[in-house]
Amino acid sequence: MADRQPTGSFFQMPTRIERIHRGSLACWQIHTPGARLLVAEQGAQLLEYGVRGEAPLIWLSRQAGYQTGQPVRGGVPLCWPWFGDLKRNPPAVQAMYRQPEAAPFHGLARSVPWSLQDMVVQGDALGLTFVPDPLTDWPHPLQVALEIHLDQRLSLVLTTHNPGPQPVWLSQALHTYLAVADIRQVRVPALAGCRYVDALRDWQAFIQPDALTFAGETDRLYLDPPARLQVDDPAGRRRIYLEAQGSRSAVVWNPWTEKSRRLSQFDPQAWRQMLCIETANVLDDCVELAAGARCQLGVSLWSGPA
């Protein structure tokens, strides 16, 4: 039978779970026989993940700040109930927020505290469930939870339930920062032939002719990509795999050289070792959540040899 312990410190060795602080942020630090994990209560943001004996799979900035109310650069921030600039979202999503001129970038979820509601340890597998404090600036009765499951893979599932009598529109993303050895050698073969919108070219639509490679700043929204993407990282001698659930869009981002100098909590050379592939519901893939309905947005991550 699974052990449940929503609070506390070390238990059931060799799995170790401890509540710690990074700067002013409370975090849950997890060590299992096969992996390590760090999750901040602010925004339920996964900060670190790696398999024992291997390089980290998730990138976290060495200049990351851990301050209450401030986003942390790296990990897997949650973008909810809208993605990016609210004004770039469909009108139905924009209409959900009372103060669009003051809307924070990437929504409300990543800056509020989330509580660890449930914890399940069964053998080498671990499950965590986080729920947010009430969102005072959000007038709709949505219920949201993040489940993190760790076994041979890392899986995150963001579930939204609309218990109210009216439909609600939202966009969202699991903003995953992947750790790579050299972005200049990275390839994403499965995006060949996909349609994308390029934020750096006046939001025009294009077709990806071949495998995606990187030679400059990249900020693209891929539409209807395959559910499973493979990231070839030859300098790191591995492949990284992402498998999406409940998504028909993926955002791919790397700031390259010039923008890296303008980013907060970001070393000017850090663009070489990171790649964002964000499992998302954005633009035409935004969600209309009917009264009483639920939706799930999820991603599973793992790696293998090149």
pLDDT, position 10:
39
pLDDT, position 232:
98
pLDDT, position 54:
93
**Count of beta carbons in the 10 Å neighbourhood of residue 189:** 15
Residue with tokens 């991603």: 299
Residue 208, SS3 per DSSP = coil
B/e letters for 49-80, b = 16+ CB within 10 Å, e = fewer, are: bbbeeeeebbbbbeebebeeebbbbbbbbbbb
pLDDT, position 4:
46
pLDDT, position 9:
40
pTM for the model stands at 0.94
The CA-atom distances, in angstroms, between 131 and each of 116, 156, 214 are 7, 13, 37
Collect the ranges in the chain with pLDDT lower than 70: 1-13
What do you get for the CA distance between the two ends of the chain, in Å? 38
CATH, domain range 3-184+229-240+262-305: 2.70.98.10
Q: Where are the domains of the chain?
A: 3-184+229-240+262-305
Residue 226, SS3 per DSSP = coil
| Cis peptide preceding 14, ω within 30 of 0 | yes
pLDDT, position 98:
87
**Count of beta carbons in the 10 Å neighbourhood of residue 1:** 4
pLDDT, position 93:
97
pLDDT, position 72:
96
The CA-atom distances, in angstroms, between 193 and each of 19, 112, 157, 213 are 45, 39, 28, 13
pLDDT, position 101:
84
The amino acid occupying position 146 is L
pLDDT, position 123:
83
pLDDT, position 178:
98
Q: Check: CB of residue 173 under 8 Å from CB of residue 281.
A: yes
pLDDT, position 124:
82
pLDDT, position 2:
41
DSSP class per residue in 240-257: EEEEEES-SEEEEEE-HH
